[in-house]
Amino acid sequence: MKLTERRKWLHSALKTMVYTVPILAVGLTVNSSVLMTDAGYSYVHQNNLTGELDVFTEPGIHFRMPFLSKITKYDQVITVSFGNSIEENLYQRLQAQDPVQVRFADTYIGQIPVTFRFKLSNDPEAMKKMHREFRNNSNLIDALLVKNARNVTVITATQYTGEEFFQGGLNQFKSKLGDQLREGIYLTERRQVEVEEMDLAPVG
């Protein structure tokens, strides 16, 4: 009797597996072939079979190669903060850093709290090029955005004396900082100039 019951149980379990395994395989395949994208993010889809890259920047449902693809997610808007504590929403990522230590033109040293807001391009070719160089969102932030923001802040500070900065030069400093991030860093050269002769013109 016990042997008969055991056979029935094994038969029932085997029958259940025969029906369950194909359904599970179909479900996994469908799940792996569909990508649901959210607003505020860019997705790079890499087809590991062909090596092709596709970029999705709008929310929606997209099809991808099941089991043979890789999805990399990037924030479209990234905030990098040095020494500032701010509230972030879902479309930003905060990398909290210490204030940037700078040396002004008159050798004074100061610490500047500054916040940068970066917006990634929606151009597919630009996204593909960026992905090839940095591979993921964390590398992009650490190796490019944080590093460049800090370097540009330090370089911009060398164009001011400490007195100029702390006596009202902050707005001009911020303007030059943004200009250099968009257009490239200024090339500067220090020269010592000797004035041999100076005349005073009469004032009429």
Question: Going by DSSP bridges, is the β-strand pair 94-97/100-103 parallel, antiparallel, or unpaired?
Answer: unpaired
Partners of 36 in the β-ladder: 61
Q: Which of 67, 74, 64, 81 is nearest to 28 (CA)?
A: 67
Report pLDDT for 93: 45
| Domain assignments of the chain as residue spans, ordered by start | 2-73, 76-183
Buried b (16+ CB within 10 A) or exposed e, 59-85: eeeeebbeeebeebebbbebbbbbeee
Higher pLDDT, 29 or 173: 173
pLDDT-above-90 percentage for the chain: 28
For the cut 90, the answer to whether the pLDDT of residue 82 exceeds it is no
For the cut 70, the answer to whether the pLDDT of residue 202 exceeds it is no
Contact 76, 42 (CB under 8 A): yes
**Domain spanning 76-183, CATH class:** alpha beta
Angle at CA 20, nearest 5°, toward 18 and 21? 75
Contact 51, 91 (CB under 8 A): no
Q: Which of 65-69, 82-86, 105-109, 196-200 has the lowest mean pLDDT?
A: 196-200
Q: Which of 111, 113, 104, 118 is nearest to 164 (CA)?
A: 104
Backbone angles phi, psi at 17, to 5 degrees: -65, -40
First to last CA, the chain: 128
Tell me: the pLDDT tens digits for 105-155?
A: 888 898 888 888 899 999 999 999 999 999 999 999 999 999 988 999 998
Q: Which of 82, 86, 151, 85 is nearest to 111 (CA)?
A: 82
Tell me: the pLDDT tens digits for 62-77?
A: 888 777 889 999 999 9
Report pLDDT for 88: 46
For the cut 50, the answer to whether the pLDDT of residue 92 exceeds it is no
Q: Which of 23, 35, 41 is nearest to 65 (CA)?
A: 35
Report pLDDT for 90: 36
